[in-house]
Chain A
Amino acid sequence: MILVTIGTQLPFDRLIKIMDTIAPSLSDRVFAQIGNGEYRPTNIEWQPSIDANEFEGIFEKAKIIVSHAGMGTVLTAQKMKKPIIIFPRSAALGEHRNDHQLATAKQLQERPGVYVAYGETDLKDLLQTDLAGPLATEVEPEGRRKLVGYLKDFIQSA
């Protein structure tokens, strides 16, 4: 199953429409969390929102994640070792307050298991490719270990 998610804050009809258009050409079924957008897809399964408790279960079953460039979804995909295609929101199209999702996407696209699409063609091409997931290591990333240690010291001396 391909899981499409656009986060909890803002609608993202452009991505949902594109997925609805591409879906008939894909071999996997598509399930989308479409938020409070106006567009109602016809070729894919959808729900406005997914209960926080069910989210990880659905995520676990997904083969690939397609998402806005929201950090929550990116971090969950890394944690669950799922390949993720991020599709950044554009401020010019009224999809977010600013273009920070474009910057996030650019920074993240070098990471294993993270792919970026900016339009229908990119997204379709990626979905028709066999995408590799993040590396299977269980080791805590070095930067996180450092930050946790730094915060721990600060809290203990507070």
Chain B
Amino acid sequence: MTDGKIDTLGRHKRVLAVSSGGGHWEQMMLLSGAFKDAKTTYATTIPGLLQRSKIADGHILPDCNQDQFFASIRCFISCLALVIKQRPDVVISTGAAPGFFCLVAGRLLGAKTIWIDSVANVEKISMSGKMAKYVAVLWLTQWQHLAKPGGPVYAGEVL
């Protein structure tokens, strides 16, 4: 009954997929086949991307990075509000800061969390990726040479 591979339980899972605009978003779109059977809500930071990707009811979050303290607080509050509203079973992000905040909020509210570090991070895991280690149930890198026994795990790449 609980083995999702056999029945269609996956169809009822609620997934929140959050990625900043640009490369992070492109990577999420390339992975979207992974949650096409789930009830998926998308969020990004650039208005227009949702329409371009033909997503009818996504959300726009304010962008921020680690250098902007107040913008980060504002961003975190928006992320928390979105997660409280959506109550996802799974929160997934390909980066960057807003995705990390949604993972934090998701974990606080009991969701399973997935961090996929951007394929752009070739030499080391990103700053938000390093912090995501503490809130991600599944902590992934897209480069085999960056995988380590205690994580991050390599399970493939978008390229």
Residues of A with Cβ closer than 8 Å to B?
A: 7-9, 51-53, 55-56, 69-76, 78, 97, 100-101, 103-104, 106-107, 111, 141, 143-158
A-side contacts of B34, CB under 8 Å: 147-149, 151-152, 155
Complex alpha-carbon distance, A8 and B46, angstroms: 9
Say whether B92 contacts A151, CB under 8 Å.
yes
Among A69, A72, A156, which residue has its beta carbon within 8 angstroms of that of B4? Answer: A156
Complex alpha-carbon distance, A80 and B48, angstroms: 20
Say whether A53 contacts B52, CB under 8 Å.
yes
Say whether B122 contacts A104, CB under 8 Å.
yes
Q: Would A154 and B112 be within 8 Å (CB), given that A9-B22, A104-B122 are in contact?
A: yes
Complex alpha-carbon distance, A107 and B120, angstroms: 10
B-side contacts of A111, CB under 8 Å: 159
Among B35, B89, B122, which residue has its beta carbon within 8 angstroms of that of A100? Answer: B122
Complex alpha-carbon distance, A149 and B36, angstroms: 12
Complex alpha-carbon distance, A135 and B94, angstroms: 26
B107-138: contact bitstring with A at CB < 8 Å (1 yes, 0 no)?
00000101010111111000000000000001
Complex alpha-carbon distance, A55 and B21, angstroms: 13
Say whether B26 contacts A76, CB under 8 Å.
yes
